[in-house]
Amino acid sequence: MRGASQAKWVVAAVAVALAATACSSGGSSDSSGAADAKGSFSYQSTEPQHPLQPANAMEVGGGRIIKNLFRGLVDYDPANGKLRNQVADKIETTDSQHYTVTLKSGWTFHDGTPVTAQSFVDSWNWSANTKNNQVNSNWFVDIAGYADVHPEKDKGAPTSDKMSGLKVVDDTHFTIDLTAPVSYFEYKLGYTAFSPLPKVFFTDPAKYGESPIGNGPYKFVSWEHNKAVTLAAYDKYAGVDKPKNGGIVFKNYTQAEAAYKDLVSDNLDVLDQVDPSDLASYKNDLGDRAVDQPQGGITSIAFAMYQPDWQGADKAKVRQGLSMAIDRDTITKTVLQGSRMPADSWVAPGVAGYKKGACGEACTFNPAKAKELIAAGGGVPNNKVTILYNADGGHKDWVDAVCNSIRQNTGVECVGDPKPDFKTARDLIDGHKVDSIMRSAWQQDYPLNANFLRDIYGTGASANDSLYSSPEFDQLSKQADAAASIDKTTELYSQAEAVLAKDMPAIPLWYYKTNSGYSNKVQNVKFDSFGDPVFTEVEIKK
């Protein structure tokens, strides 16, 4: 590896030299000139792992393309993360369980057919059905009749291809009945899985997946496998966010370093993320074209609460002590090179319901108090903890840093427990065979604190890898789900977050950031809290 790191130095040195010459030649790139509404730009992407169907994009490669091809009932305003109506004119409910949706007229699919209530109902029924093998099929779990199209494992084949909770009233109206109140169901509706589908989809979904027809701001042009997916602006787009450019080319890269080199030399217009080896120099290289802003995601380390070691009321003190021993500020600045922001809660900032300092004292670096708490809680079993992580994700450096922090400040022995790749680590985590502590990461599905709390820490929640279970937390989240307004929901979930601060089932470490940049050919490039550029806003310089 010595050779590789030397190469980085050479590259870094040259990059700095280049940046220096660029500066001396007088910065004219910052002036925002006239934009070419017909021009298209390229974006760093990866090959979609599934056919392009709205409920079949879990990874960003396909997800970002789907996001531009489709618009659902609502989406999130990129400026503030708030819900915004798109195809929906209004979504009404009195009890958070029975919804009536009214659609705007004038929306069309890219093949010219109108977007109707039927387009939504058919789409959701199809996507939820187990036999259609959509990775996001369980997003429809709240809707009444879901069990008929998506029976639990080993409970046989679907008995129906329609969910009883969805009823079309007329072309512009349909009703949604849920099995239980979910006060923030509208937030879920902003996810791409809830997109409408045109009639042509149902004739041959597989063929459709190769050349999709959506209703979003961009229409599909071509998909050259492993090379690029090209989209063009749709001139009859009826949404509020009309594209300011002529199209997007999603260019495939297998190595982020290669994409970065292309960006620096203006062969790529918008970057996804700066690769770790260029993090130190990218602000120098790109000047005011560098992007550094928070993103709706969090990295934590979660305790294997199912191990006897972590049970008992006193152990919460030990966990809080360990958290206090971690010097988040220094690690984010040095090891992570500013690519993360120290966390002080379990919910990322920018998300509705984020409460600054929810973690309180426990997330503030305080070695003396840390030792005290660990001693008060009866110490760490065997005086040793391990942190399980996957070695193929670039986590080694920070895991080692966290361990060093714990070891130096508390005297507790701490070592990383690397597993060769993501799949292997996941097998152990899913099988609840983690000895001590595991890496845990969460990226928002929708910008609401419920998504960061109930889906990870609720008893029986699908992502509750620690098997944490608190009646108090569950009670609050149940109340929150049945609340009458979003504000009430977020407030109750904030109270639930306070329970986490008490029990400390996971130590919040830091929030994600978007470290990116754009070329000299484009301007007005902004990023939303998902870490995606606001594609429709990008302007191509004339």
Among 50, 64, 67, 283, which residue sits at the site for another protein (rule: CB under 8 A)? 50
Of 158 and 338, nearer to another protein (C-beta) is: 158
Q: How far apart are CA 15 and CA 385, in angstroms?
A: 41
Site membership for another protein, residue 276 (CB under 8 A): no
- Residue 5 CB partners (closer than 8 Å, separation 6+): none
| CA dist list (Å): 137 to 17, 118, 120, 211, 413 | 51, 19, 15, 21, 43
**Which of positions 250-269 make contact with another protein (CB under 8 A)?**
252-255, 257-259, 261-262, 264-265, 267
Site membership for another protein, residue 180 (CB under 8 A): no
CB of 467 to another protein, least distance (A): 12
Site membership for another protein, residue 460 (CB under 8 A): no
Order of strands, sheet of 340-342, starting from the edge strand that comes earlier in the sequence: 340-342, 506-517, 290-303, 437-443, 384-390, 413-419
The CA-CA-CA angle for residues 509, 512, 513, to 5°, reads 135
**Which of positions 124-153 make contact with another protein (CB under 8 A)?**
130-131, 133-135, 137-138, 150-153
Of 253 and 473, nearer to another protein (C-beta) is: 253
- Residue 214 CB partners (closer than 8 Å, separation 6+): 54, 66, 69, 70, 71, 109, 110, 195, 220
Q: How far apart are CA 453 and CA 472, in angstroms?
A: 13
Among 40, 43, 45, 51, which residue sits at the site for another protein (rule: CB under 8 A)? 51
**Residue 190 has which token pair?**
């902003």
Number of residues that bind another protein (CB under 8 A): 61
How would you classify the pairing of strands 98-103 and 173-177?
antiparallel
Site membership for another protein, residue 459 (CB under 8 A): no
Site membership for another protein, residue 204 (CB under 8 A): no
CB of 280 to another protein, least distance (A): 16
Site membership for another protein, residue 421 (CB under 8 A): yes
Site membership for another protein, residue 29 (CB under 8 A): no
- Residue 124 CB partners (closer than 8 Å, separation 6+): 140, 143, 163, 166, 194
**Which of positions 379-408 make contact with another protein (CB under 8 A)?**
none
Of 10 and 34, nearer to another protein (C-beta) is: 10
Among 204, 314, 420, 475, which residue sits at the site for another protein (rule: CB under 8 A)? 420
- Residue 207 CB partners (closer than 8 Å, separation 6+): none
DSSP one-letter string for 434-494: -SSEEEEEEE-SSSBHHHHHHHHHSTT-TT-TT----HHHHHHHHHHHT-SSHHHHHHHHH
Stretch that binds another protein, among 3-11, 187-195, 317-325, 380-388 (CB under 8 A): 3-11
Site membership for another protein, residue 154 (CB under 8 A): yes
CB of 233 to another protein, least distance (A): 23
Contacts to another protein by CB under 8 A: 3-4, 6-8, 10-11, 14-15, 18, 47-51, 58-59, 130-131, 133-135, 137-138, 150-155, 206, 209, 225-227, 252-255, 257-259, 261-262, 264-265, 267, 419-424, 426-427, 430, 441-443, 462-463
